Amino acid sequence: MRNWMIAKNGIECPSCRFRFDLWKGGCLHFKCTQCHYNFCGGCKQPFYQGSECAFSDDCGGKGLHAHHTRDCFYYLRDWDVERLQQLLQHNGIEYKSDISEELSGPFEGLFKVQSTTFKMHVVEKTERKEEENTFNEMEDKEFLVRIINANLLDPADLYTDKEMEAELQRWNVTIPEISVEERREAFLQNLQMKIKQEIPLFVNPD
């Protein structure tokens, strides 16, 4: 599974296109060994040092940082596997768990379709050490996030009200107040629409 993850999901520098055959499970901050560009291995957003970032006055006190998009592995790795699967189901992306076959030829076109089937790496967790469980769970998450990103799925579809407020605050978008006559369900739908309209999945903080 891990060899497949590296071969298919290696990280490419958005500046010079040099490719790193690395797994995204660790730190997402990369500095290209060829052009020395600092970027996120998940969403390709640039890293800036403090006040060099033009996005906000608050950036001056942040040190080296990036403004990750909400569909970046930086955020989605904190979701559990079940929630990532739910996002795929919500958008009509079919899947199934299957340990009887290897990940091979049929997966060549996996990331170019809107409805597909993929196989999750499933093992008996009771037979593993705790660190092995964590490692394989992160592999599964990265695999799922790769499908989510390839199909341009928006995590905001499953956001709670607190998550929607946090996303708006993160990008300095004013959070509207709920009116007296507005039902909460309608208000949350408007929040979600505001996020999708004003904060696209591919955001340039400059």
Question: In the predicted model, is pLDDT for residue 7 greater than 70?
Answer: no
* pLDDT at site 19: 87
Active-site hit among 27, 35, 40, 59? 27
- The pLDDT assigned to 33 comes to 92
Residue listed under structure tokens 């990280």: 11
β-strands 64-66, 47-49 pairing: antiparallel
pLDDT value of residue 117: 45
pLDDT of residue 9 exceeding 70: no
Nearest to 142 by CA among 158, 125, 123, 120: 120
Summarised one tens digit per residue, pLDDT across range 103-123 is 443 334 444 334 444 444 444
Q: Do the Cβ atoms of 107 and 92 come closer than 8 Å?
A: no
Percentage of the chain lying above the pLDDT 90 cut: 52
pLDDT recorded at residue 182: 81
59 classed as catalytic: no
pLDDT score for 130: 57
Angle, helices 130-150/2-9, rounded to nearest 10 degrees: 30
pLDDT of residue 195 exceeding 80: yes
pLDDT at 24 over 90: no
Per residue in 44-91, pLDDT (tens digit) is 999 999 989 999 989 999 999 999 999 999 999 999 999 999 999 999
**126 compared with 194, residue with greater pLDDT:** 194
Give the CA-trace dihedral at 103, 2, 201, 151, to 10 degrees: 0
Token pair, residue 111, equals 């990331």
The strand ranges marked E within the chain are 11-12, 19-20, 29-31, 38-40, 47-49, 64-66, 96-97, 119-120
pLDDT class of 8 with cuts at 50, 70, 90: low
Over residues 143-183, the pLDDT tens digits come to 899 899 989 999 999 999 999 999 999 999 999 888 877 89
Mean pLDDT score, 93-97:
70
In whole numbers, what is the pLDDT of the chain averaged over residues? 79
| Least reliable range by pLDDT among 35-49, 89-103, 177-191 | 89-103
